[in-house]
């Protein structure tokens, strides 16, 4: 099985691109939302640690936002509670798809939480900065302070790029993105044995 992980900044288009690979996708954000809606044990843990912010099950998004904005330490606390459950779901996802040729990992803190294996293919999604800002501002719960809090727990962009095997320069046009995805898959499937020779390159570039 080949594991392809997408990394990048918030709003860069990782989740949309993940679907274009046409292989099973583990979307950590969707899994987290399910946990908040269905896992009463997680709610109890959150309420115990942050009783002033969580009233009754299920966990509400606005309660999370309020808690995170109130104290920067709360985001780390919430992450520590949620992360083990997400990791368990990831393990189950991998087991359930063990016979697939490729799986796609769409996990915001993939590198930060050291979820990467040495043979994973890491793809950095670089969104057009102006377009990313426009898209973020259209989100229902957009808050610049909240975005900055999330950025603080992520690795710097340059480090993510350095650790990546491919870079997708996302201009948010379907034609361009599909071309990147196709070329990445062609390279991965046809030349899997030499994949580690790529580093910090877009799909058309390769180290000699």
> How is the chain split into domains, by residue range?
1-24+101-208, 30-96
Using alpha carbons, list the distances in angstroms from residue 166 to 92, 104, 108, 159, 184.
27, 14, 17, 13, 8
Which homologous superfamily does the CATH classification assign to the domain defined by 1-24+101-208?
P-loop containing nucleotide triphosphate hydrolases (3.40.50.300)
Give CA–CA dist 65/139, Å, rounded: 14
Q: Which residues of the chain have pLDDT under 70?
A: 191-208
Reported as a single tens digit per residue, the pLDDT across 32-89 is 999 999 999 999 999 999 999 999 999 999 999 999 999 989 999 999 999 999 999 9
pLDDT at 205: 41
């Amino acid at each position: 099985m080949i594991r392809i992980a997408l990394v990048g900044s918030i709003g860069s288009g990782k989740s949309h691109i993940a679907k274009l690979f046409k292989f099973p996708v583990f979307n950590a954000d969707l899994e987290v939302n399910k946990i908040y809606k269905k896992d009463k044990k997680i709610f109890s843990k959150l309420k115990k640690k942050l009783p002033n912010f969580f009233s009754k099950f299920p966990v509400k998004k606005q309660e999370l936002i309020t808690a995170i904005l109130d104290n920067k330490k709360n985001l780390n606390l919430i992450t520590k509670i949620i992360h083990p459950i997400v990791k368990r779901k990831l393990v189950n996802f991998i087991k359930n798809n063990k016979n697939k040729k490729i799986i796609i990992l769409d996990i915001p803190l993939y590198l930060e939480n050291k979820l990467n294996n040495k043979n994973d293919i890491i793809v950095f999604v670089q969104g057009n900065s102006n377009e990313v800002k426009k898209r973020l501002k259209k989100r229902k719960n957009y808050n610049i302070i909240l975005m900055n809090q999330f950025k603080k727990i992520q690795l710097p962009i340059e480090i993510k790029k350095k650790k990546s095997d491919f870079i997708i320069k996302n201009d948010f046009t379907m034609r361009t993105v599909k071309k990147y995805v196709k070329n990445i898959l062609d390279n991965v499937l046809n030349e899997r044995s030499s994949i580690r020779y790529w580093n910090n390159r877009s799909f058309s570039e390769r180290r000699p």
